[in-house]
Structure 1
Amino acid sequence: MVDNINSSTPGEGKAVQRGPGTLVKGLYVGFATATCGGLISALVATLRNNPRSRLYIVGTTLNCFILGTGFYITRDIFSKRVFKYPQDGVIPTRERIILSGASAAVIGATWGAVIGGRRNLIPGFITFGIAGVGGQVVLNAIEASTKQDKLGGGKEWSSEAPPREGILSRILNSENSPVRKLSSEEYVSKMRDKQLMVDAEIALIDEEIARLTKKLEEENARKGIESNSN
């Protein structure tokens, strides 16, 4: 007797993975990093007037593509095989830093050894590891600040626990910043001051119009008297 596969109930059997796979996503990341690397290398080659600018741009773009693709694929493999995180699971902040640093170090050491031999293995491991950790730390800070701003939008804060300012607000409110972000009260106060200045200018214009009108009426009256006397 042959089992009817089509009659199986939903949820039975192996779940089918939908969406682009790891390789396709890695290629997307590689194209993005290659684009950034190509633009930056073109700018650097133009500023330095490099005689081999085309070769320099192509080489940098290719390196950025390989490193970006390799980093994403390595990070995905570490996430699923080493850290055992589910596909759509949320990775803790600290372990994201470790994951990105380890992935960047591995791909940096591997590619450094490929293009420069064993002598570039350790420098590539250290340099790219530090870059991966630093980049993930910055990304975590930006995400935390953005999430805090979204959560603080509809939440009432007490005087003992003031809302946390975002990165842009902290920069604008810094003492060394040439510009400063105005609060709602300060903005309303400035608008009222400007309105008072406009009202004062309008009052002066009205007085000038009244003075000129009176002067014109007096001149017309004087001309009328002179014409009657003649």
Structure 2
Amino acid sequence: MSLADRIKQTSQTVISGTSMAVLAGATTGATVAILRNAPVKQYTISTALNCGVFGATFFIVRETFANHQRSKNPRFGLKDSQTRDFDDLMSSTLAGATTGGLLSAVYRGPRGVLPGALMFGTICAGMQVLYTTGNRWRQEAILGAPEVEEQKSIWDSFTMPSWSPIRMISDDEYEEMLDTRLKTLEMEVKEIERELKQAKNNDKNSKKDRS
């Protein structure tokens, strides 16, 4: 993957992840406000902003770690797909710990750095493990799914008894019948054309006799 593609993918991941965090924060804040009978607008905006700050910081740090790890793969002859699970786990854990430590230091002071880093690092690692497990299960389910059989008509599963005067015909027999019918129609058309031509000749001869 080129540098431009990697930057584009990173930007999309950060934007989408931050948007989801803001949406989740707004929904959570509104729900809590309703349950506590508190100002809905204030709780919604405050929680959305806090989750947005955490989400943006987390995904920026995560993608930075992930890109740094994946940049080493060509040196060892590895593909990104071979190390993706490990890279995602390490990046999510380090990003969670870094983000948790930084935001805890801002909101709670220096004493909250270590507890915040441990708590958010563990939470993000657990969430990444769940996501990776679910994604693997989904891929295995897709790969292990049986091929979809060609849709058949209801008549294909119906078998006529041996004593019945009616029988099912095969596709080849049906095509042969169509060809025979087509040839018959062509012969009839030629016969009609011949008769029309003969009638025209007779009409011309009769006009000549009258003259």
TM-score normalised by L of structure 1: 0.54
- How far apart, CA to CA, are the structure 2 residues paired with 1:147 and 1:24? 23
User: Superposition pairs for residues 1-230 of structure 1, below 5 Å?
Assistant: 17-18=4-5, 20=8, 22-23=10-11, 25-50=13-38, 52-82=39-69, 84=71, 89-90=80-81, 91-154=83-146
Unaligned runs of 5+ in 1: 1-14, 156-230
Superposed displacement of residue 109, structure 1: 0.7
Q: Which structure carries more helix by proportion?
A: 2
Deviation of 1:84 (Å): 3.0
Distance change in 2, residues 1:104/1:16 (3 Å): closer
Whichever residue aligns with residue 31 of structure 1, its letter is S
**CA gap 1:140/1:25 in 2 versus in 1, 3 angstroms:** closer
Contact 1:80/1:86 (<8 A) preserved: no
Asked if the contact 1:79–1:85 (Cα under 8 Å) also holds between the matched residues in 2, the reply is no
> Matched residue of 2:4: which SS?
coil
Q: How many residues align?
A: 140
CA distance in 1, matches of 2:73, 2:24: 30
Moved more, 78-87 or 38-47: 78-87
Q: Deviations over 1:70-129 (max 9, x none)?
A: 111101111122553569922342342222111111011111111221122112101110
Instruction: Tell me the SS of whatever aligns to 1:17.
Output: helix
Q: Which has the larger radius of gyration?
A: 2
The root-mean-square deviation of aligned C-alpha atoms, in Å, is 2.5
Distance 1:66 1:95, change over 3 A: same
Structure 1: 4+ residue segments shifted above 6 A: none
TM-score, length basis structure 2 = 0.58
